[in-house]
């Protein structure tokens, strides 16, 4: 007679299964799912917003809304793809909100204020990053933020943004062009 | 990887979350998770008790209040001092697959906090009325967000580069919900409820009355053009039916955008003929040397009434040799007013035109005129081969100011006149959210102006973008009177359909002023009614009057018109015979013909019309997939408008009929339509 061992190997369960269980009210499943993705989510938020403070706010907002939102996840995409889509959309809303406060920086809002704040808490490299990313048009920023993720392929980034793989590749070429131009300008200055 | 990218990537490594912040966020998420699921369980059977807290937040579900306390992002805290925005998320279950859709998306409804005033929650009758119907809730809240406008149409908050695959769109709606929550300038909470009841018109108002705090004086800025559904006519009294064809598709896209956002469309926004004509059909095409289009008549059993039949009139336009097409002169007239700022307006428009540009030929010319406050020519007529020049002009467009619609139109027509050479086709393509708020505001006056301009031979197409202040009525007036078509673009894939896949049809008319007249035989047909085309009705005498304007058929496009007819002696006859008048005018013709179909059209640019006629015979044609699918859409449209003549026929029947007639469906449009039917079924609770 075999005994069924009632231990659920949470760490082995895939995201989509956990998400389905969480939808049904499984606390544990939700907790492991979010813990598993929190760092990556924060990283993406950071790249999308450009400052630690904004990234923290954005991550928090997403975490707060996630329990309700999770019911909209129907397993048709990978969980991470879905989560990133949520993050990108939330970041857009955030940018738009700030854009209405200060229109200085082409939709990315009062980045100047954020940049000054960010100077105090982040190292110079991140400051440069903030400026560099701020100068990019929105869709390029999103694309860059996604593709800088270690395991993110162009195809997956395309899925998140709802565009084709080819578009992502083209956008990345554009990003490089922009960055090069920016770099050249800095060298001159 | 370039050095610059590497530099960026290195910088990224510095971004790791603070452990304390992470713990706090995780705890917050768990708390909301518990609240959410508690609330779901509690509300499964009945409305939850209200008012666990007095004051202006009375009635907010406790979970929502908790979230008000826990959501503390910087912007939110700053905003709460002056504004309280309350968003509600509504959920319900569909029966088919137990998936959850969002109902009326949570539009933040902001209201200044009245200092020291009594409880602000006094739902007026007006509000209760609005609450009792799910669609109204969404529409209303969408309209009521006061300035500063922070709202976005949900479903459109995402980047415009969107696949309209239904899955994506649904996810988008979800994302929009989060957007609504976050963009509300104040924390707002999903008030999770099982809202099956709100989906039906009989929904209990009391359940939600306390949640919605909407200023009753909400301005309604969406206007739709429609007329009452065509009534059943008695053949003996009124044997002749006359109307203009309609090749617009805007209504279908508007219906889709409503359903995707989780509410049933305003019945006035549903124009059945535009829904039917949205889909490409493969009707028999005319042979070379014949008229530019060919009508095919099919008589079939009515799906929703065993006592009646449908006369299905399908018109297929020829596809001329594209290699020989004359050069095009296109004037993009682009609305850059402040209201176009939303990502589903100007940014989507830019992307759409970029798509279209790739379809043009080097010898075609493009000019761009904008209007916002003052009108201006942004791009002089430029050959389509100078792609980068056109693209950079497009890219520079920026939204701001109010809309001087008339000045813009005048300038666009002037530019188009200047570009015109012999044998070329000039067309003004107006892209707008319909907000003509400066200059001319009266659709009638605009109409007169466009009518004059029509004489110059310049065509006008109208592309609608965005929701919220979509002025469908003005768009219709413009397109119908400017010899053009109106389409509504809500996603990039819709832009692909209108501006790439069907560009030829949209830009190259093959027949102008196409009118249809059907005379029914009173010996065979007791009653008839035309399904749709309410806004296209013509007077009987206008049929032969060549100065009366009517619709155009584009290259390769198809147009469908459907009559429901009741044979003499059928049990389905609605009108009793009269007591004091004998059944006068006995049918003199003992022909078995059901009726006689006449079509009039003009060659493009011609002033004299030509006539084509064919009798309608019983059991004519074959009810193939195209015929049956268009019938399913006709039924769907009628359901959305109230379904007065449909008896017990409902969404389930429409879905079955459409599913069985999807055919090849190479672009997936028909599959999408079935999805919409299912959404509508769930939303209507029928």
Q: What is the ipTM of this complex?
A: 0.75
Strands (E), B507-661: 509-520, 525-531, 551-554, 558-567, 595-602, 610-616
Q: Which residues contact A12 (CB under 8 A, 6 or more apart)?
A: none
CB of B223 closer than 8 Å to CB of B143: no
Nearest to B168 among A25, A90, A162 (CB): A162
Give the residue carrying structure tokens 């084509």.
Answer: B612
Q: Determine contact: B10 vs chain A, CB below 8 A.
A: yes
> Could you tell me how many CB contacts below 8 A there are between chain A and chain B?
208
Alpha-carbon distance values, B281 to B144, B249, B662 (Å): 40, 14, 11
Chain B, window 125-164: residues with a beta carbon less than 8 angstroms from a chain A beta carbon: 148, 150, 152, 157-159, 161-163
Nearest to B74 among A57, A66, A76 (CB): A57
In a domain, B215, yes or no: no
Flag if B181 and A61 touch (Cβ within 8 Å): yes
Nearest Cα neighbor of B517 from B443, B438, B614 is: B614
Taking CA atoms, what residue in B is nearest to A179?
B4
Flag if B181 and A65 touch (Cβ within 8 Å): yes
Nearest to A86 among B7, B29, B175 (CB): B175
Nearest CA distance, A4 vs chain B (angstrom)? 29
Residues B338 and B441 in one domain: yes
Nearest to B192 among A68, A92, A93 (CB): A68
Flag if B16 and A39 touch (Cβ within 8 Å): yes
Residues B346 and B374 in one domain: yes
Q: Which chain B residues contact residue A94 at CB under 8 A?
A: 75, 182-183
In a domain, B388, yes or no: yes
**Rounded to an integer, what distance in angstroms lies between the CA atom of residue A15 and that of residue A188?**
49
Residues B370 and B403 in one domain: yes
Nearest to A167 among B2, B71, B161 (CB): B161
Residues B530 and B669 in one domain: yes
In a domain, B82, yes or no: yes
What are the tokens at B556? 């390769």
Flag if B15 and A68 touch (Cβ within 8 Å): no
Flag if B17 and A59 touch (Cβ within 8 Å): yes
- What is the per-residue pLDDT for B131? 39
CB of B466 closer than 8 Å to CB of B157: no
Decide: helix, strand or coil at residue B500: helix
Domains of chain A: 14-188 (1.10.1740.10)
Nearest CA distance, A181 vs chain B (angstrom)? 10
Q: Determine contact: B237 vs chain A, CB below 8 A.
A: no
Task: Identify the CATH number of the domain in which residue B672 sits.
Answer: 2.60.40.1230
Q: Which chain B residues contact residue A162 at CB under 8 A?
A: 158-159, 161-163, 168, 172
DSSP state string for A86-149: HHHHHHHHHHHHHHHH--TTTTS-SHHHHHHHHHHHS-HHHHHHHHHHHTS-HHHHHHHHHHTS
Q: Determine contact: B66 vs chain A, CB below 8 A.
A: no
Residues B177 and B142 in one domain: yes
**Rounded to an integer, what distance in angstroms lies between the CA atom of residue B466 and that of residue B156?**
8
pLDDT tens digits for B547-564? 888 888 888 888 999 999
**Rounded to an integer, what distance in angstroms lies between the CA atom of residue B275 and that of residue B240?**
25
Each residue of B132-153: b (16+ CB within 10 Å) or e? bbbbbbbbbbbbbbeeeebbbb
Taking CA atoms, what residue in B is nearest to A124?
B11
H-state helical runs in B49-165: 62-70, 74-80, 125-131, 134-144
In a domain, B11, yes or no: no
Flag if A89 and B190 touch (Cβ within 8 Å): no
Report helix angle B346-357 to B387-396, nearest 10.
Answer: 170
Question: Lowest-confidence range among A39-53, A172-186, B244-258, B519-533?
Answer: A172-186
In a domain, B542, yes or no: yes
Q: Determine contact: B316 vs chain A, CB below 8 A.
A: no
**Rounded to an integer, what distance in angstroms lies between the CA atom of residue A99 and that of residue A97?**
5
Cα B583 to chain centroid, rounded: 45
How many structural domains is chain B composed of? 3
Q: Domain range for residue B367?
A: 326-507
- What is the per-residue pLDDT for B583? 59
Q: Determine contact: B209 vs chain A, CB below 8 A.
A: no
What are the tokens at B589? 């013709």
Q: Determine contact: B589 vs chain A, CB below 8 A.
A: no
- What is the per-residue pLDDT for B312? 95
- What is the per-residue pLDDT for B435? 61
Of B485, B507, B529, which closes a domain? B507
Residues B271 and B247 in one domain: yes
pLDDT tens digits for B355-383? 888 888 888 889 988 876 555 778 888 88
- What is the per-residue pLDDT for B328? 83
- What is the per-residue pLDDT for B557? 84
CB of B141 closer than 8 Å to CB of B149: no
Q: Determine contact: B70 vs chain A, CB below 8 A.
A: yes
Residues B145 and B271 in one domain: no
pLDDT tens digits for A91-149? 888 777 665 544 434 434 444 455 455 555 444 555 566 667 767 777 888 888 888 77
Cα B564 to chain centroid, rounded: 25
Taking CA atoms, what residue in A is nearest to B28?
A64
Q: Which chain A residues contact residue B171 at CB under 8 A?
A: 72, 76-77, 82, 85
Flag if B36 and A68 touch (Cβ within 8 Å): yes
DSSP state string for B448-486: HHHHHHHTTT-EEEEEEE-SSS-BHHHHHHHHHHTT--E
Q: Which residues contact B402 (CB under 8 A, 6 or more apart)?
A: B337, B338, B372, B373, B437, B438
Flag if B15 and A46 touch (Cβ within 8 Å): yes
In a domain, B219, yes or no: no
Flag if A148 and B12 touch (Cβ within 8 Å): yes
Residues B353 and B485 in one domain: yes
Nearest CA distance, B510 vs chain A (angstrom)? 35
Nearest Cα neighbor of B160 from A58, A138, A104 is: A138
CB of A39 closer than 8 Å to CB of A63: no
Computed over every residue of chain A, the mean pLDDT equals: 74
Residues B595 and B520 in one domain: yes
Of B155, B177, B209, which closes a domain? B209
The residue ranges of chain B whose pLDDT is under 50 are 1, 42-220, 437-439
Q: Determine contact: B67 vs chain A, CB below 8 A.
A: yes
In a domain, B586, yes or no: no
In a domain, B160, yes or no: yes
Q: Determine contact: B619 vs chain A, CB below 8 A.
A: no
- What is the per-residue pLDDT for B560? 93
Q: Determine contact: B16 vs chain A, CB below 8 A.
A: yes
Of B507, B528, B559, which closes a domain? B507
Task: Indicate the length of chain A as a whole number.
Answer: 189
Residues B297 and B386 in one domain: no
Q: Determine contact: B174 vs chain A, CB below 8 A.
A: yes
- What is the per-residue pLDDT for B311? 94
What are the tokens at A136? 């990019």
Residues B385 and B491 in one domain: yes
Cis peptide before B148 (omega within 30 of 0): yes
Residues B649 and B544 in one domain: yes
Task: Identify the CATH number of the domain in which residue B430 sits.
Answer: 3.40.50.410
Q: Which chain B residues contact residue A88 at CB under 8 A?
A: 158-159
**Rounded to an integer, what distance in angstroms lies between the CA atom of residue A89 and that of residue B173?**
11
Flag if B2 and A180 touch (Cβ within 8 Å): yes
pTM above 0.80, yes or no: no
């Amino acid at each position: 007679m075999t005994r069924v061992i009632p231990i659920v190997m949470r760490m082995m369960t895939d995201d989509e299964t956990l998400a389905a269980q969480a939808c049904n009210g499984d606390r544990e499943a939700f907790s492991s799912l979010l813990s598993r993705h929190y760092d990556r989510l924060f990283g993406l938020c950071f790249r999308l917003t450009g400052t630690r403070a904004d990234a923290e706010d954005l991550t928090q907002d997403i975490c707060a809304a996630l329990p309700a939102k999770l019911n909209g996840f129907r397993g048709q995409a990978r969980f991470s793809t879905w989560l990133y889509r949520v993050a990108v959309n939330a970041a857009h809303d955030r940018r738009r909100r700030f854009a209405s406060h200060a229109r200085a920086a082409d939709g990315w809002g009062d980045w100047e204020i954020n940049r000054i704040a960010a100077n105090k808490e982040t190292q110079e490299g991140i400051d440069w990053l903030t400026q560099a990313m701020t100068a990019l048009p929105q869709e390029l920023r999103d694309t860059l933020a996604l593709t800088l993720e270690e395991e993110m392929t162009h195809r997956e980034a395309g899925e998140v943004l709802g565009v084709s793989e080819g578009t992502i590749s083209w956008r990345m070429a554009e990003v490089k062009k922009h960055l090069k131009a920016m770099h050249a300008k800095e060298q001159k200055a | 990887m370039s050095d610059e990218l590497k530099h960026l990537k290195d910088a990224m490594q510095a971004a790791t979350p603070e452990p304390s912040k992470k713990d706090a966020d995780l705890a917050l998420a768990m708390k909301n998770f518990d609240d959410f699921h508690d609330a779901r369980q509690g509300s499964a059977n009945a409305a939850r008790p209200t008012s666990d807290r007095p004051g202006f937040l009375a009635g907010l579900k406790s979970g929502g209040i908790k979230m008000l306390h826990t959501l503390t992002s910087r912007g939110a805290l700053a905003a709460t001092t002056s504004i309280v925005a309350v968003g509600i998320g509504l959920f319900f279950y569909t029966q088919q697959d137990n998936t959850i859709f969002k109902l009326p998306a949570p539009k933040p409804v902001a209201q200044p906090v009245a200092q020291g005033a009594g409880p602000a929650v006094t739902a007026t009758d007006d509000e209760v009325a609005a609450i009792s119907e799910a669609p109204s809730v969404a529409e209303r809240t969408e309209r009521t967000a006061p300035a500063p406008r922070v709202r976005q149409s949900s479903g459109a908050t995402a980047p415009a580069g969107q696949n309209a695959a239904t899955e994506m769109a649904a996810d988008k709606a979800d994302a929009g919900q989060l957007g609504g929550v976050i963009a509300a300038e104040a924390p707002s909470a999903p008030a999770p409820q099982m809202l099956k009841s709100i989906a039906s018109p009989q929904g209990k108002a009391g359940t939600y009355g306390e949640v919605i705090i909407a200023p009753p004086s909400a301005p309604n800025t969406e206007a739709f053009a429609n007329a009452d559904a065509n009534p059943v006519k008695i053949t003996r009294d009124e044997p002749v039916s006359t109307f203009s064809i309609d090749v617009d598709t805007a209504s279908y896209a508007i219906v889709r955008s409503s359903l995707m956002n989780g509410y049933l469309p305003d019945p006035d926004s549903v124009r059945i003929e535009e829904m039917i004509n949205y889909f490409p059909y493969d009707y028999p095409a005319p042979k070379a040397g014949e008229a530019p289009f060919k009508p095919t008549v099919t008589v079939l059993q009515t799906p929703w009434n065993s006592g009646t039949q449908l006369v299905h009139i399908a018109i297929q336009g020829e596809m001329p040799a594209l290699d020989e097409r004359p050069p095009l002169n296109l004037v993009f007239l682009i609305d850059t007013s402040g209201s176009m700022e939303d990502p589903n307006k100007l940014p989507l428009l830019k992307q759409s035109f970029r798509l279209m540009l790739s379809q043009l030929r080097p010898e075609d010319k493009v000019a761009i005129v904008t209007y916002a406050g003052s009108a201006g020519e942004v791009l002089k007529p430029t050959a389509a081969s100078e792609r980068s020049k056109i693209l950079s002009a497009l890219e520079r467009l920026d939204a701001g100011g109010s809309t001087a619609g008339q000045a813009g139109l005048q300038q666009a027509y002037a530019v188009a006149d200047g570009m015109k050479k012999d044998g070329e086709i000039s067309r003004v393509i107006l892209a707008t959210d319909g907000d003509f708020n400066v200059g001319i505001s009266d659709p009638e006056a605009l109409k007169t102006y466009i009518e004059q301009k029509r004489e110059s031979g310049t065509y006008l197409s109208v592309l609608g973008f965005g929701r919220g202040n979509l002025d469908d009525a003005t768009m219709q007036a413009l397109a119908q009177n400017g010899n053009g078509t109106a389409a509504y673009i809500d996603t990039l894939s819709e832009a692909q359909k209108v501006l790439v896949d069907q560009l030829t049809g949209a830009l190259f008319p093959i027949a102008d002023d196409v009118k249809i007249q059907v005379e029914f035989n009173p010996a065979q047909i007791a009653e008839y009614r035309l399904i749709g085309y309410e806004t296209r009705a013509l007077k009987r005498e206008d049929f032969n009057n060549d100065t009366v304007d009517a619709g155009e058929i584009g290259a390769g496009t198809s147009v469908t018109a459907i009559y429901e007819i009741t044979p003499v002696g059928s049990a389905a006859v609605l009108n009793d015979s009269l007591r004091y008048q004998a059944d006068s005018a006995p049918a003199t013709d003992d022909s078995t013909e059901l009726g006689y179909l006449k079509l009039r059209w003009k060659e493009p640019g011609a002033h004299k019309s030509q006539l084509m006629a064919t009798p309608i015979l019983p059991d004519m044609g074959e009810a193939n997939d195209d015929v049956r699918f268009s019938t399913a859409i006709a039924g769907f449209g009628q359901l959305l408008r109230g379904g007065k003549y449909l008896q017990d026929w409902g969404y389930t029947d429409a879905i079955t009929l459409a599913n069985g007639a999807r055919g090849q469906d190479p672009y997936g449009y028909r599959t999408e339509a079935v999805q919409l039917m299912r959404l509508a079924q769930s939303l209507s609770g029928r």
